[in-house]
């Protein structure tokens, strides 16, 4: 279920409270929630995921991203979260795509090669070509 992009981050479709323990057992140190609350009926509440993360000794950051796109604030928040994670991160949204996109935008803003980012994303099953022209544009 968790798709490894590289040693620093994996992404996932929506996780459950039970998945938090699996994330901790796999060595993740932080969970990043990129999903807006109540995006669809029956979605686990971010507060429940946050509490499960804390109980499992994981840091938790919410950077909700709707379907309207990405703001500079969201990219900066992702950069900060990744820089302060202290170990591997698990980021999730509905399908993992928005998490992959905001990761790529954050890494691109840090100067990482867009081609390398695209290869890493593709290795996890995600196509970042829609945002590739934006990588490193800051």
Domain boundaries, the chain: 3-134
C-alpha to C-alpha distance for 5 and 124, rounded to whole angstroms: 5
> Tell me, what's the pLDDT at 50?
98
Q: What percent of the chain has pLDDT over 90?
A: 89
Give the CATH class of 3-134: alpha beta
Cβ atoms of 74 and 63 within 8 Å: the answer is yes
* pTM recorded for the entire structure: 0.95
pLDDT in tens, 16-56: 999 999 999 999 999 999 999 989 999 999 999 999 999 99
> Tell me, what's the pLDDT at 137?
60
pLDDT in tens, 8-25: 999 999 999 999 999 999
- Residue 138, pLDDT > 80, answer no
C-alpha to C-alpha distance for 15 and 2, rounded to whole angstroms: 9
Q: Is 77 exposed, middle or buried, given 0-12, 13-18 or 19+ CB atoms closer than 10 A?
A: buried
- Alpha-carbon Rg for the chain, nearest whole angstrom, is 14
């Amino acid at each position: 279920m968790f798709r490894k992009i590289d040693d620093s981050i994996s992404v996932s479709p929506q996780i459950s409270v039970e998945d938090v323990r699996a994330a901790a057992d796999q060595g993740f140190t932080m969970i990043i929630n990129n999903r807006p609350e109540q995006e669809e009926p029956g979605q686990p509440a971010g507060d429940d995921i946050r509490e499960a993360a804390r109980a499992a000794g994981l840091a938790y950051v919410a950077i909700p991203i709707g379907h309207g796109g990405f703001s500079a604030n969201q990219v900066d928040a992702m950069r900060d979260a990744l820089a302060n994670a202290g170990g591997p991160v698990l980021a999730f949204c509905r399908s993992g795509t928005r998490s992959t996109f905001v990761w790529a935008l954050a890494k691109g803003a840090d100067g990482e090669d867009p081609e390398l980012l695209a290869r890493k994303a593709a290795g996890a099953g995600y196509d970042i070509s829609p945002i590739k022209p934006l990588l490193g544009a800051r």
